[in-house]
Amino acid sequence: MKQLSSQRRWVLVLRVTGTLLTLGLVVRWISQQGWDEILESVGQIGWPLSTLALLMLMISRMAVVARWFVLLQGAGNAASYWEAARLTFAGMFASNFLPTTIGGDVLRLAAAKQLRLDRATCAASLVVDRLVAMAGMVLV
């Protein structure tokens, strides 16, 4: 078995610790929610309509993934659809917690760099992705 260097060991310890702390906070926050009230509200809307809303949300998110994937492919980046989906969903997740909506795009750009995708074309694709999204909102 290969020994980890001291620096890699600390990075691993920090990652595991951060993951465990995050999971602990998420479990705590979820347990503190008023689930009876939430389920009652969903029940008032109706399960079929709630399920349809969730399905439409997922279709919307997958359209965002597809849009960015097409932009990446058009720019000559060899990212797979799965990689584009992972980066897009990670960016959406980060946008929920970072102070600006641009934070998710920065995360996507940083992750694309780790995948060895061209930073300039990735940044350009993110800008175009934002512009296409804004144009869509204006048209609707």
Per-residue confidence in pLDDT tens, the chain, 140 aa: 567 688 888 888 998 998 899 889 888 888 888 888 888 887 888 888 989 999 999 999 999 999 999 988 888 888 889 999 999 998 888 888 777 777 888 888 888 888 888 888 888 888 898 899 889 889 88
pLDDT given for residue 20 in this prediction: 92
Residue 53 and residue 93 share a domain: yes
Instruction: Compute the distance between CA of residue 84 and CA of residue 61 in angstroms, rounded to an integer.
Output: 12
**pLDDT value of position 81:** 92
Q: Is 134 inside any structural domain?
A: yes
Q: Residues 77, 105: one domain?
A: yes
My answer on whether 55 and 105 are in the same domain is yes
- Asked if 51 and 110 sit in the same domain, the reply is yes
Position 1 in a domain: yes
Q: Is residue 62 part of a domain?
A: yes
d(CA 140, CA 17): 45
Q: Which residues are CB-neighbours of 95 under 8 A, at least 6 positions away? A: 101, 103, 104
What pLDDT, on the 0 to 100 scale, is given for residue 2?
Answer: 65
Residue 63 lies in a domain: yes
Q: Are residues 109 and 58 part of one domain?
A: yes
53 and 110 housed in the same domain: yes
Q: Is position 37 within any domain?
A: no
| Residue 1: per-residue pLDDT | 54
Same domain, 60 and 116: yes
**Structural domain contains residue 41:** no
Instruction: Give the residue numbers spanning the domain of 118.
Output: 46-139
Residues 28 and 60 in one domain: no
**Count of structural domains within the chain:** 2
